[in-house]
């Protein structure tokens, strides 16, 4: 069964953070994890959340999804010619819009604005490295890189429960196909038909 490209991307970023010993948590994909209080563990609360859709991260309002991306009709044809795809099961090309919420915190200097900003910038850099280098640990396929189209970013005031640290929300599109039902595959084989002697 095909895996969700976005979940595979989050898994790949999580694996990259672990391999590089980046002191932050990549949360599960979803709308609720941005406001979770995570004070223990790596980074003392620093986290990266991938949220489906373009959220409105304004302080004081719940995240509001305003777009989910674009569905495109795939073009069929020979691979490499006219942008076509060789796999006729590609039903839809979905350019998913994703909100990438990066919240960095320096727990040693909670009242120092420069220290909080520096922690955020360090985590943003590591996050985009992970986004670029993400490999799905289940399939071994690179799910970042060419599948990601970067967009704009905004600084936010963290929600009340995240009153220390700083947050940046970046947006990107994650490209991937949705497939049609699998048909039975018939592989023709050559056979020699011998005519009876007459």
**Which two tokens mark 136?**
């799905």
Residue 150 vs residues 26, 34, 127, 174, 175: alpha-carbon distances, Å: 19, 20, 13, 9, 11
Q: Across residues 125-139, what is the average pLDDT?
A: 95
Query: Can you give the pTM of this predicted structure?
Result: 0.79
CATH of 5-179, one of 3.40.50.40, 1.10.10.60, 3.40.605.10, 3.30.2000.10: 3.30.2000.10
**pLDDT in the model for residue 198:** 58
pLDDT tens-digit map of 18-77: 999 999 999 999 988 887 766 555 456 789 999 999 988 875 566 677 889 999 887 755
Q: Where are the domains of the chain?
A: 5-179
Q: Across residues 154-180, what is the average pLDDT?
A: 80
């Amino acid at each position: 069964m095909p895996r969700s490209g976005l979940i595979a991307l989050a898994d790949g970023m999580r694996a990259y953070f672990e391999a590089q010993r980046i002191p932050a948590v990549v949360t599960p994909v979803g709308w609720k994890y941005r406001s979770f209080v995570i004070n223990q563990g790596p980074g003392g609360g620093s986290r990266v959340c991938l949220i489906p859709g373009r959220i409105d991260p304004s302080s004081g309002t719940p995240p509001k999804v305003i777009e989910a991306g674009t569905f495109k009709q795939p073009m069929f044809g020979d691979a490499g010619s006219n942008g076509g795809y060789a796999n006729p099961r590609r039903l839809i090309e979905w350019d998913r819009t994703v909100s990438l919420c990066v919240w960095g915190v320096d727990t040693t200097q909670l009242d120092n604005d420069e220290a909080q900003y520096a922690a955020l910038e360090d985590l943003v850099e590591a996050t985009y490295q992970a986004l670029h280098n993400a490999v799905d640990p289940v399939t071994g396929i690179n799910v970042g890189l060419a599948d990601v189209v970067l967009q704009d970013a905004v600084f936010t005031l963290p929600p009340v429960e995240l009153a220390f640290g700083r947050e940046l929300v970046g947006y990107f599109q994650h490209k991937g196909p949705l497939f049609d039902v699998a048909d039975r595959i018939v592989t023709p084989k050559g056979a020699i038909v011998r005519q009876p002697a007459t």
